[in-house]
Amino acid sequence: MALLVQKFGGTSVGTVDRIRNVARRALATQRAGHRVVLTVSAMSGETNRLLALAHEITKIPSAREMDVIAATGEQVTAALTSMAIQAEGGQASSLLGHQVRVLTDNAFTKARILSIDKERIFEALDRGEIAVIAGFQGADEHGNITTLGRGGSDTTAVAVAAAIGADECEIYTDVDGVYTTDPNICASAQKIERISYEEMLELASLGAKVLQIRSVEIAMKYGVPVHVRTSFNDTPGTLVAKEDSALEGMVVRGVAYDKGEARAHVVGLEDRPGLAAELFEKIAEANISVDMIVQSAAADAESRAGITFTLPKSDLARGRTWIDSIAKGLGAREVRYDEDVVKVSIVGLGMRSHAGVAAKMFRLLAREGINIQAISTSEIKVSCLVASKYTELAVRALHDGFGLSAPKASV
């Protein structure tokens, strides 16, 4: 008898019929002898409907009140799902964020979970019920309703799994697992059967959208095995779990890309120690998060250097004026911006023990005539910034070059 958390996203509970399917699936799991906790999202479209209503009232709605409204989407689904389970002859009760004391900080619309009261959940399980927890929501220490940001139901599910010590957290979604790269741009992409937390975290950070980063962090911290799978059939998906020594042979596990960043190039800086520190301190003060950084040493007679960095495109409109004035204050000639860039990354635990992986990546890109604008590395990933027109070409070259396109049997 296992203790399982099953999370169903907005598409999986998007209609009354789909909610019935979720109920049947959960009941089948329970009848197979397991204890089941469900976490559900709002019916697809519902959150947008609610936000539109708020925006009809005011262009800049209060974050606290937005959360009060947004939380109702999951509240309704949790109750409907409980009813559907009861209609199928099972027992269930809905549990809202504040009822299972999903305690969060007070960062409305993007709160972080601090703790969950497992007792309320076990009370329901001990009564033979399926506990149906409204995802995405919590309450701060004063009882204010909070929400966890888009995709927050993943985080609820994994945090609940951690709190109750679940054997596995199943994330049901509209794709059937995690792929070696985006199948939409690389036909030879393959479903990954098992991947480590560290690799999944890098892939999620680097642009793979199948799981929320925060949920992977929690899963890794508490060692919760996460099974990403589709709700439309019974095919096993991808298990995100502790590093598996059997897989150490794989140097690169996946190729990710992210078009969400823009490049800023600060030109004609004085080449003196501490200037870069000063620049990025001031940028941080403006609350702009910087990702890749490349410093080019002075090469000309005037001894002036350049600094290239990337920042989220969504911060560009707001950040541009800041960056321009900061750079000017430091004596820079100008700042050039480029939004037509993509960050292409390879991820794999095997890199830790394999030399030459980065070099091979550069060679594969060069062979296609792709110029690298910036590089960043960590222990288990290498990222290159290239012109966005090369996205598909670069991803396919890396996917083939690192042997990810091989037929499944030979993996």
Q: Residue 84 Cβ, how far from a copy of itself at the closest point, in Å?
A: 5
* Binding segment toward a copy of itself, per CB under 8 A, in 27-35, 139-147, 240-248, 309-317: 139-147
Give the residue among 146, 116, 145, 149 at the shortest CA–CA distance from 133: 116
Q: Residue 39 Cβ, how far from a copy of itself at the closest point, in Å?
A: 15
Q: What is the rounded CA–CA span in Å between residue 38 and residue 40?
A: 6
* Binding segment toward a copy of itself, per CB under 8 A, in 61-69, 165-173, 175-183, 395-403: 61-69
Q: b or e along 345-355 (b: 16 or more beta carbons within 10 Å of the residue's beta carbon)?
A: bbbbbbbeeee
* Binding segment toward a copy of itself, per CB under 8 A, in 138-146, 207-215, 246-254, 380-388: 138-146
- Match 């937005």 to its residue by tokens: 66
Decide whether 36 or 171 has the Cβ nearer to a copy of itself.
36
Residue 151, classed as helix, strand or coil, is: coil
Q: Binding of a copy of itself at residue 162 (CB under 8 A)? A: no
Decide whether 82 or 156 has the Cβ nearer to a copy of itself.
82
Decide whether 129 or 315 has the Cβ nearer to a copy of itself.
129
Q: Which of 11, 21, 51, 68 binds a copy of itself (CB under 8 A)?
A: 68
* Residues 89-108 contacting a copy of itself, CB under 8 A: 93-94, 96, 98-99
CA torsion, ordered 389, 394, 396, 397, to nearest 10 deg: 140
Residues whose CB falls within 8 Å of the CB of residue 393, separated by 6 or more in sequence, listed in order: 368, 370
Length of the chain: 411
> CB–CB of 132/30 below 8 Å?
no
Q: Which of 28, 87, 284, 299 binds a copy of itself (CB under 8 A)?
A: 87
> Could you give the residue ranges of the DSSP H alpha helices within 92-240?
118-126, 152-164, 197-205, 213-222
CB atoms within 10 A of CB 142: 6
Q: What is the rounded CA–CA span in Å between residue 320 and residue 326?
A: 10
Q: Which of 27, 133, 145, 220 binds a copy of itself (CB under 8 A)?
A: 145
Q: Residue 66 Cβ, how far from a copy of itself at the closest point, in Å?
A: 8
> CB–CB of 312/167 below 8 Å?
no
Q: Residue 401 Cβ, how far from a copy of itself at the closest point, in Å?
A: 51
Q: Which of 1, 33, 57, 408 binds a copy of itself (CB under 8 A)?
A: 57
* Residues 262-281 contacting a copy of itself, CB under 8 A: none
Q: What is the rounded CA–CA span in Å between residue 238 and residue 190?
A: 11
Give the residue among 405, 407, 411, 410 at the shortest CA–CA distance from 187: 405
> CB–CB of 171/38 below 8 Å?
no
Q: Binding of a copy of itself at residue 79 (CB under 8 A)? A: yes
Q: Binding of a copy of itself at residue 110 (CB under 8 A)? A: no
Decide whether 12 or 212 has the Cβ nearer to a copy of itself.
12
Q: Binding of a copy of itself at residue 51 (CB under 8 A)? A: no
Decide whether 94 or 310 has the Cβ nearer to a copy of itself.
94
Q: Binding of a copy of itself at residue 53 (CB under 8 A)? A: yes
Q: Which of 76, 175, 213, 298 binds a copy of itself (CB under 8 A)?
A: 76
Decide whether 120 or 265 has the Cβ nearer to a copy of itself.
120
Q: Which of 11, 44, 72, 106 binds a copy of itself (CB under 8 A)?
A: 72
Q: Binding of a copy of itself at residue 126 (CB under 8 A)? A: no
Decide whether 86 or 295 has the Cβ nearer to a copy of itself.
86
Q: Residue 79 Cβ, how far from a copy of itself at the closest point, in Å?
A: 4
Rg (CA), the chain: 24
Q: Binding of a copy of itself at residue 20 (CB under 8 A)? A: yes
Residues whose CB falls within 8 Å of the CB of residue 217, separated by 6 or more in sequence, listed in order: 201
Q: Any long-range contacts for 354-363 (C-beta under 8 Å, 24+ apart)?
A: 354/251, 357/251, 357/252, 357/382, 358/382, 360/401, 360/402, 361/398, 361/401
Chain residues in the site for a copy of itself (CB under 8 A): 16, 19-20, 50, 53-54, 56-58, 61-62, 64-66, 68-69, 71-72, 75-76, 78-80, 82-84, 86-87, 93-94, 96, 98-99, 143-145
